Amino acid sequence: MGTKREYTNGEVTVVWEAKKCVHSGICVKGLPEVFRPRFRPWVKIDAATSDNIINQVKQCPSGALSYYLNNRVEKPPDPVSTKIEVLKNGPLLIHGTVEVIHKDKMKEIKHRSTAFCRCGYSKNKPYCDGTHSKQDFIG
């Protein structure tokens, strides 16, 4: 079982699940004052507003970062707003709500950003696990 850590500012709690992380760096690039992999603790939750943190966590392609609100009600995501982004030499990134139907017919709903493998090497297909960077995938 992987490491799971929670960081809270009282309003929002960010949850990080190490086992799911593909180290895309999207969190670090988007909010470097909050997500600081060279420091411990690596999440400095008080370095940005709750709304900015929530918006950045929603960009996590692996689902390793998630959040929950401690005392505030959040409006549900817009079910028709979906964006597809092809990352250079990386996964296909789907932003928005999608239904994934697996080959065994199991269904799951993804509400944030989801990274789908394009290189074929992922051990977590159809999702990206970061293996493309070890295989020198170009695409």
pTM (two decimals): 0.62
**Rounded to whole angstroms, how far apart are CA atoms 123 and 125?**
6
> Domains in the chain, ordered, with CATH?
4-69 (3.30.70.20), 82-133 (no CATH)
pLDDT (0 to 100) of residue 80: 55
Strand ranges (DSSP E) for 40-105?
Answer: 65-69, 82-86, 92-96, 98-101
Give the position of tokens 């760096």: 25
pLDDT (0 to 100) of residue 29: 92
pLDDT (0 to 100) of residue 79: 56
* Residues contacting residue 48 through CB under 8 Å, at least 6 positions apart: 31, 33, 34, 56
pLDDT (tens digit per residue) in 37-89 = 999 999 999 999 999 999 999 888 888 899 999 986 665 555 557 888 898 99
**Rounded to whole angstroms, how far apart are CA atoms 98 and 109?**
6
Question: Strands 92-96 and 113-116: what pairing?
Answer: antiparallel
pLDDT (0 to 100) of residue 93: 87
Dihedral angle over CA of 121, 32, 45, 81, nearest 10: -60
pLDDT (tens digit per residue) in 81-131 = 788 889 899 899 888 888 889 899 998 888 778 889 999 999 889 998 888
pLDDT (0 to 100) of residue 56: 94
pLDDT band (50, 70, 90) for residue 11: very high
